[in-house]
Amino acid sequence: MRHLTRSLLLAAAGTTLAAGTLAPAATAAPPDHARGHQDTLRRQAPKDLQIGSAVWGQRDLLGYDRLDPTEHQRVLAREFGSITPENDMKWAEIHPEPGVYHFSGADAIVEFARANNQEVRGHTLLWHSQNPQWVSDAAADWTCEEARDVLEDHVRTVVGRYAGEIYEWDVANEIFQDDWDEGGVRLRTEANPFLAACSEDPVALIGDTFRWAHEADPQARLFLNDYNAEGVNTKTDAYYALAQELLADGVPLHGMGSQGHLSLMYGFDDSMQANFERFAALGLDVAVTEADVRVPIPEGQDGPTPEQVTLHAERHDAMLEACLAVPSCTSFTVWGFPDASSWVPDVFPGEEWATIFTDDLDPKPAYHAMLESLREATPGVSPRSGR
């Protein structure tokens, strides 16, 4: 990994229910407020790599006015060629009751992306977390066939609504436990209500989830996705074996996503590029889907130390460089901004400063490190060329 120069660091330090069809695209050109900003992440990225950010449509994009955007919306449009719904397409938000779908937040994201010539990554269809109460209540009594019917309706409804609008979908999210969990690395056939109902053959259900998504939108690239899936380890070994099994069975699996939720409390796994390369050798795309780097800040400490700022930048850049080194890496997504909107402090007390923008929307050294790597990158060969 290229280490950050002192001059780079010093320069950087200055720093509701909806129905019907979606509105037609406002424009295919870059947004007006992005013009004149050539030195941005989205403009410096190789043409075959999307640099993206997560966003919460219900919070950040409802009522978007292209002629009078908020400052957050300006940065989102200027810097990123791809956006991911952080929460708006999760079950609890989009399917809160049986037969009831709330599309307003997801629609806002898709419409913002259209207006600003951005792509959208869909997130997520099959997950053990953030499910609505009605799923938790009903799941205890489901037969496998009943669980399949509920999941199929959801997948076909959501993916079908946005067919042609979403270029990559996180279809199956966090379906393996970590090796330190009780029982070790194995499919979550207890925590995931759908896999639990079909525990006799969970792989068949996973495969059919991909098939339903592909039938609903044949253009979308369909991904497995998980945390602690950056380097070569027991968890990614399990995903590698699963990918081989699904592909051998003709399942339309197109990619493996590594979330990239890192912490300075731990070291960086230098086998990330090697891990991407082995999935690429299966014919799959790879992606960094949810990148952020948590910084432990003890009570009483006023922000990160200079050493932590440097490491924070180097970790973001190391993930990006692993992606840039593998032509099949199609997207690199940071998990939202600024720090005030980050999920990290609520979930990891004592850790913060995880994103690449300050609360004043100033770019951190991590942003500048990524920008420098993108400037130096050699474009790869897009598996989606011709689209």
Active site residues: 174, 290
Q: Is the bond leading into 327 cis (omega within 30 degrees of zero)?
A: no
Give the separation between CA 65 and CA 31, rounded to whole angstroms: 12
Residue 367: other Cβ atoms inside 10 A? 24
Residue 363: strand pairing partners? 357
128 residue type, one letter:
H
**Where does the chain have alpha helices with state H?**
6-13, 41-44, 57-60, 71-79, 91-94, 104-115, 133-139, 144-161, 193-197, 202-216, 234-248, 272-280, 306-324, 344-347, 365-376
Query: What's the CA gap between 56 and 62, in Å, rounded?
Result: 9
Spatial distance between the Cα atoms of 361 and 19, rounded to a whole number of angstroms:
34
How far apart CA 9 and CA 216 sit, in angstroms, is: 47
Does a cis peptide bond (omega within 30 degrees of 0) precede residue 310?
no
- How many whole angstroms separate alpha carbon 18 and alpha carbon 316? 37
Angle of the 234-248 helix axis to the 202-216 helix axis, nearest 10: 60
In three-state form (DSSP H/G/I as H, E/B as E, the rest C), the secondary structure along 234-267 is HHHHHHHHHHHHHHHCCCCCCEEEECCEEECCCC
Q: For residues 236 and 205, is the Cβ–Cβ distance under 8 A?
A: no
Q: Name the helix (H) or strand (E) containing 288.
A: strand 285-296
Peptide bond preceding 124 in cis form (omega within 30 of 0): yes
Let me know if 361 is exposed, middle or buried by CB neighbors in 10 A (0-12, 13-18, 19+): middle
CA separation for the pair 242, 236 (Å, rounded): 9
| Structural contact between residues 91 and 102, judged by C-beta atoms closer than 8 angstroms | no
